[in-house]
Amino acid sequence: MCTTSAAGQIFNVRSRARQLIASLRAQVAAAAGKVAGLRPVSVFRYDSGQAAPFIARGLAMPSALIRLGGGTGIFAGLNRSWTTVSWEQVARRPPCIIINNYGTPTWQQKRKFLETGPVTRSLPAVRTGCIRGLATTS
C-alpha cells in the first residue's frame, strides 16, 4: 500500500502527505461506517441547466461521493463523466436531489428553479422536499 503521495515525494513533504492521507482515509472510513447496513438512496446530482440538466454521471467524482454517502446516482451506470440529459430522463426517478453548490447561480437559486419549473416541480424529490446543496469546492 502506498503511504506517500506522488506530490508528497515531488515536493519533498512526505511526512505531511502521509498525515493528510491518513486523515482522509479516516474521514472516508467514518463516512462509510455511518451508512453501513443502510439501504442505498437513489439520488439525482444536479449541476446546472434549465432547458436540460447538466449532470455528473457514473465516472465523475460526485458519483463516488454519492456512493460513499450511501446513495446510488440515478445515472451512475452510464459510462461517462459530465454531460447533458433531458428532464424526461430525470422526471420519474429521483426521491432525492443533491445540487452542486459552487458559485452562481447558488444552490438555493437552482432549488427555486426546481421548485417552480413546469417539469421539475413535479419531480418526486421536489414534491417531498428532499433537496440539498452540497459544496464542491473549499
pLDDT band at 138 (very low <50, low <70, confident <90, very high): very low
- 70-106 pLDDT tens trace: 888 888 777 777 888 898 888 777 889 999 888 888 8
Q: What is the mean pLDDT of residues 105-128?
A: 91
Q: What is the pLDDT of residue 58?
A: 67
DSSP character for 36?
Answer: T
Query: What is the rounded distance in angstroms from the CA atom of residue 90 to the CA atom of residue 121?
Result: 12
- CA 68, 71, 75, 79 torsion-angle sign: positive
pLDDT digits (tens, 9 = 90+) for 46-58: 888 899 998 877 6
pLDDT, position 93: 76
Quickly tell me which residue has 472510513 as its cell.
29
Average pLDDT over residues 33-42: 91
Domains of the chain: 6-35 (no CATH), 41-135 (3.40.50.1980)
